[in-house]
Amino acid sequence: MATADRIQPGLESRIERVIDERLITRHVGGNGIFATPAMIGLMEGASHKCVEELLPEGHTSVGYEVHVRHLAPAAPGTTVVVTAKLTEPTSKSTWPGRPGATRPRLCLPFTRRR
């Protein structure tokens, strides 16, 4: 059984994705470009993946604040890598619909490869 006591600083997870139709926006024209909301979604996914196996039944992790700068474009077909590293686990009060939710603080390096 999972236990929140095992959620310690230093835990890491990684998501690697090829930018496809589901992750692009076309409002900039051309073939589209990797969308910032999609980037944040991958960051959230990597964050959750970092701790999900260690959470007790009925618990989850939730994001509550995001500060990002999308510094470089990534065209369709580009591979992006998101790495989440837990820096400070915290446990907050119960959230509606999410009993025992935790709010871990994570460092999320983000890279792209062509």
pLDDT tier, 4 (very low <50, low <70, confident <90, very high otherwise):
low
pLDDT tier, 91 (very low <50, low <70, confident <90, very high otherwise):
low
Residues listed for the chain = 114
Most confident of 28-37, 54-63, 91-100: 28-37
Domains of the chain, earliest start first: 4-113 (3.10.129.10)
Q: Which of 11, 111, 101 is nearest to 63 (CA)?
A: 101
97 vs 22, which has greater pLDDT?
22
Mean of pLDDT values over 70-82: 90
With 0.85 as the threshold, say if the pTM is over it: no
